With several copies, the nearest count.
Chain A
Amino acid sequence: MITVTVKLFAAYQDAFERSELTMELPEQTRVVDLCDRLIAQRPQLSAWRSQTRYGVNLQFVEPEQVLNHGDEVVLIPPVSGG
């Protein structure tokens, strides 16, 4: 098993009512699998699934990126800075 930190913002933060989670995951978990797991816990988030991008250790990554122990993951629903 690995442990990762998940940063939550916008709709994800609203759904979980917190800004950060720590998750225990099987080895070889992909970032998209982590996201699906969270959406399963909060079905109101499913509308965001197709629009969410992923970041690991402050870099954008593909959905298939495999997570490592200690990674800091962020789920990025549509951004609106500026």
Chain B
Amino acid sequence: MTSLLSSPDLTPQHPGDRFLIGPEPLSLAQAYNQADDAANGAVVAMSGMVRNQTGGKPVEALDYQAYEPMALQVFRQIGEQIRQQWPEVTRLVIHHRTGRLTVGEISVLVAVGCPHRGEAFAACQYAIDTLKHNAPIWKKECFSDGSTSWVNCC
């Protein structure tokens, strides 16, 4: 794994970026603090959490799996693409949780700091949209009736 992570093909992490993926509960306060910067005029943060139902079927829990080293590579690429499209972005924070989450628990946090809010909204939306399409992360819905199914995001 060490050899993979030091591969010259991997995207380097921008100094303003903070990424995290793992089983610990996520903290909005921590993500927000990591997006803080004296040059910011606005921070836009998005949290995703387990909804109480999907298509009318009551959900009990979601079970998240991730290929963590590749997910982090996707996060770094998102950071690189954001810096190309919105060079004003000071900070990009992406935290994603893994394991079993029950209703109301936060599965993902994205926070973006910027001098102006327009770019912060656009970059935050770009980050979560791209994460949902490309990050190697999977969730299984566990319904109240005991059935489960792997979700296809799009």
State yes or no: do A and B touch (Cβ within 8 Å): yes
A contacts, CB < 8 Å to B: 7, 9-11, 13, 51, 55, 57-60, 72, 74, 76-82
CA distance A78 to B67 in the complex (A): 13
A-B contact count (CB 8 A): 80
A59-B73, A77-B150, A81-B71 given; A9·B9 CB < 8 A: no
B interface residues, Cβ below 8 angstroms from A: 4-5, 7, 9-10, 48, 64-67, 69-71, 73, 96, 107-108, 128, 131-140, 150-154
Main secondary structure of the interface of B (DSSP, over half): mixed
Q: Is the CB of B138 within 8 A of A79?
A: yes
Is there contact, CB below 8 Å, between A58 and B69? yes
- Give the 3 A-B CB pairs with smallest separation, nearest first: A81-B137, A80-B151, A78-B152
How far is B137's CA from A17's CA once the two chains are assembled, in angstroms?
A: 18
- Please state if B150 and A74 are interface contacts (CB–CB under 8 Å): no
